[in-house]
Amino acid sequence: MMKKTNFILYTFILLFLGCNEPKFETKDFIGVWKADDGASIVINQDGTCKLNDLNNTIINISQKEIKKINAQGTWKKIDDVNSGITGSISTGIEFSYTLMNRKGGTLFYISGQGFNESKPPWNLFVWSGDPDDNIKYEFTKQ
């Protein structure tokens, strides 16, 4: 009987307390985010952003030569982006920019720390290749 009670209690804790998605506010994203390769994203309060030296594979994964993206643009928080592939956080950031006279955009997902990646500090990331490979191009807030 004790095992059954413990199992029910554990299940309740996981389902109702451990899986709550954090609520993000604009202030959570404002600032400079950096990647291990030296790239950075500057996110401003007014909805503008600057992409500095981002690896071009976030736009075109078929290119073998690594080029850098430098662009200015806008950003906005997007809800319900996870499609079941980013863990427990369904909020993301969409960056829109003009590059070589073409409008473009990239969706970054949010991950955190802990078992469900749902605790700060937060990271912004895009998948590098197939999400099943679990390789992220990740940016950490400075």
Q: What is the pLDDT of residue 94?
A: 93
Q: Whole-number mean pLDDT of the chain?
A: 80
Measure the CA–CA gap between 99 and 69, rounded to whole angstroms.
8
**26: which DSSP letter?**
G
pLDDT at 80 over 80: no
In tens, the pLDDT along 40-77 reads 999 999 999 999 999 887 766 555 667 888 999 999 99
- pLDDT above 90 covers a percentage of the chain that reads 35
Chain CA centroid to CA 99, Å? 21
Lowest mean pLDDT among 9-23, 56-70, 92-106: 9-23
Cβ atoms of residues 94 and 107 within 8 Å: yes
pLDDT at 95 over 80: yes
Q: DSSP letter at 101?
A: T
What is the DSSP secondary-structure string of 41-93? EEE-TTSEEEEEEEEGGGT-TT-SS--EEEEEEEEEEESS--TTSSTT---EE
Q: What is the pLDDT of residue 84?
A: 47
SS3 percent helix, strand, coil of the chain, rounded to 5, is 20, 45, 40
